Amino acid sequence: MAFDGRLLAGVSVLSAVIEGGSFVRAGLALGLSPSGVSRAIARLEGRVGIRLLDRTTRSVTLTDEGRRFYEEVSPLLAGIEEAATVASGSSVIARGRLRVDIDPFFARLMLAGHLGEFLERHPELSLELTTREHLGDLVADGIDLTMRFGEPQPSSSIARKLIETRILTVAAPSYLSRHGRPKHPSDLTAHACIQFRDPVTQQPFAWEFHRGREVLPVKTTGRLLVADVGTMLGECLAGAGVAQVMALGVQDLLDEGRLVELFPDWPGELFPLYALHPSRHHPPAKVRAFIEFVLQALR
């Protein structure tokens, strides 16, 4: 297939549709009417000989063939963008639009109230922050950077570990007054334990306790299964059961006596926070700037 500028233009329109989520938003970004965007997509589909998008009245999604096609061409678009970034100086100056996808609990815990400070530092930058429980497709969703707890799944994304936080087993005084305090992790088999759903397996996370090289798995049960850290923490504070939580962000609750750490002599289990961004040789300055901002907030 001979290359011409119309093919690149069509791919650019497709990228705008995927990032915006609709023909209307893509048109606003590109200065085109929705019908103009639709015609450009139809020309591209005719050019490559496959249907790229499934269109409904409420959504636009990639077909399986469209997703494979976009995964092939998006690195090329990223390369063009990177070349333009270097040429314009954006490799060293944070500018343009930054789309960040962050775990909701981490956003509330560490970033709420500080984003204005980040924007003040970078007056040529606009920030679009989304919070989702589960990690999506960074390329297909047009995400520049995401931050997630836990070991990342194998992918083409670049992953950077930011911190590790301890896992604490805690309960509210009201729960302990009714059910007694367990003296050893194995005692939890007789307690109501709030279960947390693993977003990858959709099963409750297994409970483990670490002390030096010793790893002790404990089979816990509980009638409450949640998929949101904030909900789990709130129910634990209300006395609904024992929970395993990240030390990050609960120190005040421990200091105030609203939560009690049950097994401080088993301190070894750690949980990482990673920053992930689409694979590029040189992450844009805007991505590096946000990562450094988060690291400062964590410190």
| Domains located in the chain, CATH noted | 1-88 (1.10.10.10), 93-299 (3.40.190.290)
**Helix, strand, coil: what percent of the chain each, to 5?**
40, 25, 35
pLDDT of residue 64: 86
pLDDT of residue 195: 97
- Going by C-alpha positions, the residue among 270, 275, 75 that lies closest to residue 159 is 275
Please state the φ and ψ torsions of residue 238, each to the nearest 5 degrees: -80, -5
Tell me if 141 sits within 8 A of 67, measured CB to CB: no
pLDDT of residue 28: 83
pLDDT of residue 1: 46
Q: pLDDT tens string for the chain (299 positions)?
A: 445 567 777 788 888 888 777 888 888 878 888 888 888 888 888 888 888 888 776 678 888 888 888 877 776 666 666 565 555 554 567 888 899 998 888 888 788 888 999 999 999 999 998 887 667 777 777 788 999 888 887 776 788 899 899 999 999 999 999 999 999 999 999 999 999 998 778 899 999 999 999 999 999 999 999 988 889 999 999 999 999 999 988 989 999 999 999 999 999 999 999 998 886 556 788 999 999 999 988 87
pTM of the model: 0.64
96's enclosing H/E stretch is strand 96-102
Residue 29 corresponds to which tokens in the numbers above?
Answer: 């970004």
